[in-house]
Structure 1
Amino acid sequence: MAAPELRLRAPAPGLLSLPWERPLAEWVVPEVPLRDMAVGPSRHLVKFVECDGALWALKELPPRIAVREYDVLSRLEEMRLDAVRPAGLVRQPAFDTAILLTRYLVGSWQYRRLFLRLPPDAPKQRARLLDGMASLLVELHRRGVFWGDCSLANTLFTRDGQVLQASLVDAETSEVHARLSDGQRQLDVDVTVENVAAGLMDIAARIDGATALRDQLIGEALSLRTRYEGLWELLHAEPIFGYADRYRVEGRIRKLNELGFAVDEVSLQPTSAGTDQLRLHVAVGDRRFHATRLREIAGLDVGEGQATHLLGDLQAYQARLCTEAGHDVDERTAAQLWVMELVRPTMHRAHAAVGHTGTAIQAYCDLLEVRWLLSERAGRDVGTERALMALARRVVPTDSAAQLMVVETPDVEP
């Protein structure tokens, strides 16, 4: 029997000792440390192995498809796009198969699991996920990636502050190009809308009362195109205005920054000789504007959505320091004190309050949001202790993104 060919990016003892010489279907517990995980519909056999202090997803594929997906995922990792990270590829010539090994996305969950826990009429929560999917598709297309099979089943979600970050899971049909044509982008969007609509209908059919929302769910699926096109237009439009109106450039940059995009370069070019009409072109970088800023001044490496929330907390803390000190306190000094005296101790308390679900920094972001909403309703600052109690009891405002935490049970606790 031909020996398997191993290509592991994490050559840990536990992974090396797995029975790679046998088909994945024959792997059983207790011989193999398999973890029972909920997965969506898949064309191929998928199993999860817990070893070397981590969780790994293993998918059995025809060799050609496995090599292609491994290469695409490696390219996505190089481009720092949101997708599962490839960890290895094992060819099994004896069975004419291959096993693709990826790192499990810690703290993530599938739309299917969340939808089945939410009340059928929860459009705000579904909108957050659709925004995440549209944003992911835009980012992939900006970097020349054609997904080919974007669907609810092929997307994982993680919480990032008060937004949801979508990540690509299945890259079997994906392609990486120098640039995508408008036709390729539209085809990808068409496939996404169709798949999401079908996925929503399939899930709704399993929930009592959800079938009455059929038309609404279809409308939500169709809104993906509008969400995608709106963001794409903002990033790629080249407006024309008069030389005297060039102040509008600042407004454009501010809007992009608010959405988390860093601006690499601004170009103003006359539309034709002898006129004062200028065409604006903005070169947009990665969507980590606030995260980069927070890392520079506070040394915290967090998601873009979390950074947006945390910077607001830092500004409030700095203002309080200035009032107490009776003089200005510079931002870096305030940031160091903020991390040491407030963020680190409080985020661990918040994490414990939610049963160590998700990450500690996300729990702190949830605490900030719940405290603000409770204070708004009470007409005064309710304080940290009351907000911690609300988190611990899962009694949080229904219009809060933290409400997702109430129904969320990630497959893996970090």
Structure 2
Amino acid sequence: MALQISATNPEHPARLLDLPWNTLLEQWPEKCLVPLPRGISRHVVRFASAGPEVVAVKEITERAAVREFGLLRDLHRLRIPAVEALAVVTGRTATDGEDIESALVTRHLKGSLPYRSMFESTMRPSTVKRLMDALAVLLVRLHLAGFAWGDCSLSNALFRRDAGAYAAYLVDAETGELHEDLSRGQREYDIELARMNIAGELMDLEASGALHPSIDPVPFGAAIVGRYEELWHELTRESVYPLDKRHYIDRRVRNLNDLGFDVAEMRIESSPQGDTVRFLPKVVDAGHHQRQLLRLTGLDAEENQARRLLGDLESWMATQDDYAPGDPLGARPEVLAHRWVRDVFRPTVRAVPRELRGDTDTAQIYHEVLEHRWYLSEQAGEDVGLDATVKDYVTHVLPRSQAATGAASRRDEDDDEV
């Protein structure tokens, strides 16, 4: 059987052809390899140069390579944090005619480290906790997408610093399965495996002297279960709010943002009596809000602004008589969004005197008004409405902002003179 390279990009086969596929991976010459830290794996894994990029090569059976290749591509399509599959290499034969196992090729995740490399210098308990939090977030994201990992562990993930926290990426999908939805039993199986695997891995670190003496492996392994359950509950619970308590929805979205999740769509349904709103958030990839807001309203805003504006749009749509999701007789979202821009967004922005806006763009003005509305509503215990909010914003907030801006400008001028 001739050598075959099945790749996601037409450029990759040519780049990979120069690698010594007729040699067992563990025998590849140093000139082909890139000295990067490797984690523990059931299979032989090496980092190699392929043209301008670094790739990870894993030697496994053809069936396993093709299957994992497909799963990693699915996760990439779903925008789940995972290594990117580049190619599957089959038909490998040694110079003596002996068959060699196939290989899965993935792109090296820049800036990432396996967990053992991170423990080379003893990590503080608070840092280890952030590592566990990152793995819990990854597991929740996988389960929301319908992916049962089947072998969640520190060894099967890579970690990258993300400001003061860590981000975890799936690196081994060999045991995974993708479904429409996961049952509670499938999720609990993954969680229990994670608990046992992590406790075992921390025990190995403890035995080697690489674990902080204050860390007990078993409680730390169990802690991921609580973190996972907290995240899952907050992301999937359905809430019912009184119609005049719209700021409760804002509070819920803020909580989700604080947990590190973006809320793209909100399934909001009004009760037949019109006195309550049912709310269920959906989590999505970064940048979704900008694209969604531009598509629906034509407004071009920054991501945080767009998130806030879309939240207001969704809440407002739920109050409209002709809003009926899934009903062909109901108004389409684009129609309602156009009405929201005409009847809500523009009048609100125009109510803020132009001379007080300065150089602030309209999306930011509306965002600040919504922030102030949330603050006033929290104080009052009920939704105060946009009209009252704008008046208070113009009277009390903007003058302070102008004064602060003026003071900053004067300080800049003084600095320039110096």
TM bucket (normalised to shorter chain) is: 0.5 to 0.7
1:167: how far off?
0.1
> Following the alignment from structure 1 to structure 2, what is the Cα–Cα distance between the partners of residues 298 and 233?
29
8 Å Cα contact 1:116-1:203 kept in structure 2: no
The alpha-carbon distance between structure 1 residues 6 and 167, as it changes in their structure 2 partners (threshold 3 A), is: same
Give the counterpart letter for 1:108 in structure 2: S
Matched, 1:107 2:111: yes
CA contact (8 A) 1:36 1:48 kept: yes
Give the match's secondary structure for 1:116.
Answer: coil
> Cα RMSD over matched residues?
3.1
Equivalent residue for 2:143, pick from 126, 130, 141: 141
Q: What's 1:24 paired with? A: 25
Post-superposition Cα deviations, 1:166-214, rounded to whole Å, max 9, x if no partner, equal: 0000111011111111110111111111111111111121117x48445
Aligned to 1:88: 87
Q: What residue number does 2:159 align with?
A: 157
Larger radius of gyration: 2
Q: How big is each residue's C-alpha offset from its partner over 1:357-382, in whole Å with a ceiling of 9 and x where there is no partner?
A: xxxxxxxxxxxxxxxxxxxxxxxxxx
Partner of residue 391, structure 1: none
Q: Deviations over 1:53-84 (max 9, x none)?
A: 21111110011111111110111111111000
Match of 1:168 among 167, 170, 174: 170
Aligned to 2:16: 15
Q: Is the 8 A contact 2:76 2:82 kept in 1?
A: yes
Alpha-carbon shift at residue 327 of structure 1 (Å): 7.4
Please tell me whether the aligned partners of residues 205 and 211 of structure 1 are also in contact (alpha carbons under 8 angstroms): no
Flag the 1:53–1:275 CA change in 2: closer, same or farther, 3 A: closer
Higher relative contact order (CA 8 A, sep 6+): 1
Deviating above 6 A after TM superposition, structure 1's stretches of 4 or more consecutive aligned residues are 289-293
Partners of 1:253 and 1:263 within 8 A in 2: no
Q: What displacement does 1:150 show?
A: 1.2
- Letter matched to residue 329 of structure 1: D
Q: Which runs of 5+ in 2 are unaligned?
A: 94-98, 293-299, 304-355, 365-418
Structure 1 stretches lacking a partner, 5+ long: 300-325, 335-414
Q: 1:274 and 1:18 mapped to 2: Cα distance?
A: 68
CA contact (8 A) 1:110 1:155 kept: yes
- What residue number does 2:380 align with? none
Q: 2:240 aligns to what?
A: 240
Deviation at 1:253, TM superposition (A): 2.1
Q: How does 1:19-98 map to 2 (within 5 A)?
A: 19-30=20-31, 33-92=32-91, 94=93, 95=99, 97-98=101-102
Aligned equivalent of 2:206, options 177, 183, 204: 204
- Counterparts of 1:278 and 1:290, CA distance in 2: 22
Structure 2 CA distance for partners of 1:207 and 1:330, relative to 1, 3 Å? same
1:8-407 aligned within 5 A: 8=7, 9=9, 10-11=11-12, 13-30=14-31, 33-92=32-91, 94=93, 95=99, 97-119=101-123, 122-207=124-209, 210=211, 212-213=213-214, 216-258=216-258, 259-270=260-271, 276=275, 278-286=277-285, 328-330=358-360
Moved more, 65-74 or 109-118: 109-118
Give the residue type in structure 1 aligned to 2:248: R
Q: Within 1, Cα distance between the matches of 2:286 and 2:5?
A: 35
Query: In structure 1, how many angstroms separate the alpha carbons of the residues matched to 2:235 and 2:134?
Result: 16
TM-score, normalised to structure 2, is: 0.65
TM-score calculated relative to the size of structure 1:
0.65
Q: What residue identity is the alignment partner of 2:127?
A: Q
Q: How far does the alpha carbon of each residue in 1:264-304 deviate from its partner, in whole angstroms, 9 at most, with x for none?
A: 1241343xx779565432333335679989xx6579xxxxx
- Shift in alpha-carbon separation, 1:206–1:196, aligned structure 2, 3 A: same
Q: Secondary structure at the match of 1:67?
A: helix
